[in-house]
Structure 1
């Protein structure tokens, strides 16, 4: 790995890193400062006093955990198949999946609405979980396949000689060796599902199943727009994602860096 040894090089890198992080750090600082304006901590107290806060968090947890499980299982199985199994025309299927990355979420709202109605899952958690998982899977398969490409084929040959089948090799070789990329998948999927706004807004009408991203609506109406409490809601909503990233930071970075190179 490359390393800056000279003091001047380290100083230049530090300045560049600081300049690069400012555009991302500045909005966060403004958000926290704005959430403390006016009533200060009282803004957060007002958010916690919203009766549906616990319900919103429960719905977001259910949707996020369900989406993560679906994305992880399907991603690892598909990435293993694309990387190590002999499947006819698998490259065609792989590029067809990647083509889904070009479809923005807003374009899919109308067909998703019609599909959920036809399947009878409208106004349920599944109406949000399944589309969220489908939107995440193409990218996670892309990075997971690159990671599994780095697993030596000799391990699978040895397992095959010992009589292990495909799913046994997947369970005892792929799953233990792909923990870094699994952490990356968990974090990326959590961010996508926890921050989902359009899909819960359109596909869920039951207030008891709404998510935390709709929490600011309690402080915005026709005759009021309390931005301090809206910002406080945003800060509270972001805390679980920050905690999850800090807990998985090491594995997350290893997974993305290993998935980026062969």
Structure 2
């Protein structure tokens, strides 16, 4: 790990880090300023006064929690299998899984719609949860496999000598060491699920099932387009994922760095 010990080097690194952050900081500042334009904090009051807002937040939380659980379980077990188990043609299946990263959400929308209607799950949470989880898993497996590769094989060999099964080796040896990448997976899955707009818009027609990503649409219509309240709604709906990232920031950074630098 590189470390700057002298103050000139620290100053240079601070300047570089600041320059790298500024392009990402300006849009956030502009968004907050835009949300306070016009009537100021009354924009937020109007957003918070939407009667359906608590229901939308509840629905988003339900979908996010279930998707995170599915993605986490599938990712950890798949990463362990691809990294540590001797499976025939596992590299072929791994690259086949990564090929799914090339499929954008909009491309598979028509097949998903046909499948949801034929199975009778249209206008239910299942129609959104399963596709969202499937879209997240290829990338999270890629991250988690790189992390699990860094777990020494000697630890698993020692557990087998002590009589542990493959499942016990995963549960008591590998899984406790995957906390950092697990936190990264939780944050990335939460962001991807919470911000998704297309699937809830298409598959959740009942207003009682819709999510927070549809809140800004309350202020855009045929005869009105209040962009200040749209931006205020975007800020309000982004708060939960920002808090989640701040709470898991250290583990998130450790997981991504460990997955990149084995």
Normalised to the residue count of structure 2, the TM-score between the two structures is 0.98
Give the CA deviation at 1:245: 0.4
| SS of residue in 1 equivalent to 2:196 | coil
Tell me, in whole angstroms, the C-alpha distance in 1 between the residues paired with 2:224 and 2:23.
30
Q: Does 1:98 align with 2:98?
A: yes
Tell me, in whole angstroms, the C-alpha distance in 2 between the residues paired with 1:189 and 1:78.
16
Tell me, in whole angstroms, the C-alpha distance in 2 between the residues paired with 1:174 and 1:153.
10
Tell me, in whole angstroms, the C-alpha distance in 1 between the residues paired with 2:171 and 2:127.
30
Which runs of 5 or more residues in structure 2 are unaligned? none
Match of 1:214 in 2: 214
Match of 1:256 in 2: 256
Tell me, in whole angstroms, the C-alpha distance in 1 between the residues paired with 2:7 and 2:169.
48
Which runs of 5 or more residues in structure 1 are unaligned? none
Give the CA deviation at 1:6: 3.4
Tell me, in whole angstroms, the C-alpha distance in 2 between the residues paired with 1:257 and 1:63.
28
Match of 2:84 in 1: 84
Tell me, in whole angstroms, the C-alpha distance in 2 between the residues paired with 1:212 and 1:144.
29
Equivalences for 1:147-226 in 2 at 5 Å? 147-226=147-226
Give the CA deviation at 1:39: 1.2
Match of 1:124 in 2: 124
Match of 1:240 in 2: 240
Give the CA deviation at 1:146: 0.6
Tell me, in whole angstroms, the C-alpha distance in 1 between the residues paired with 2:7 and 2:159.
50
Tell me, in whole angstroms, the C-alpha distance in 2 between the residues paired with 1:58 and 1:254.
30
Match of 1:142 in 2: 142
Give the CA deviation at 1:37: 1.1
Give the CA deviation at 1:20: 1.4
Give the CA deviation at 1:108: 1.2
Structure 1 window deviating more from structure 2 (11-20 vs 83-92): it is 11-20
- Deviation by residue 1:42-91 (Cα, 9 ceiling, x = unmatched): 11110111010001000100010000000000000000000001100000
Match of 1:50 in 2: 50
- Deviation by residue 1:20-42 (Cα, 9 ceiling, x = unmatched): 11111111101111111111111
Give the CA deviation at 1:17: 1.6
Tell me, in whole angstroms, the C-alpha distance in 1 between the residues paired with 2:110 and 2:7.
57
Structure 1 window deviating more from structure 2 (106-115 vs 132-141): it is 106-115
Tell me, in whole angstroms, the C-alpha distance in 1 between the residues paired with 2:144 and 2:61.
24
| SS of residue in 1 equivalent to 2:136 | helix
Match of 1:15 in 2: 15
Tell me, in whole angstroms, the C-alpha distance in 2 between the residues paired with 1:117 and 1:27.
40
CA RMSD of aligned residues (A): 0.9
**What count of residue pairs does the alignment treat as equivalent?**
262
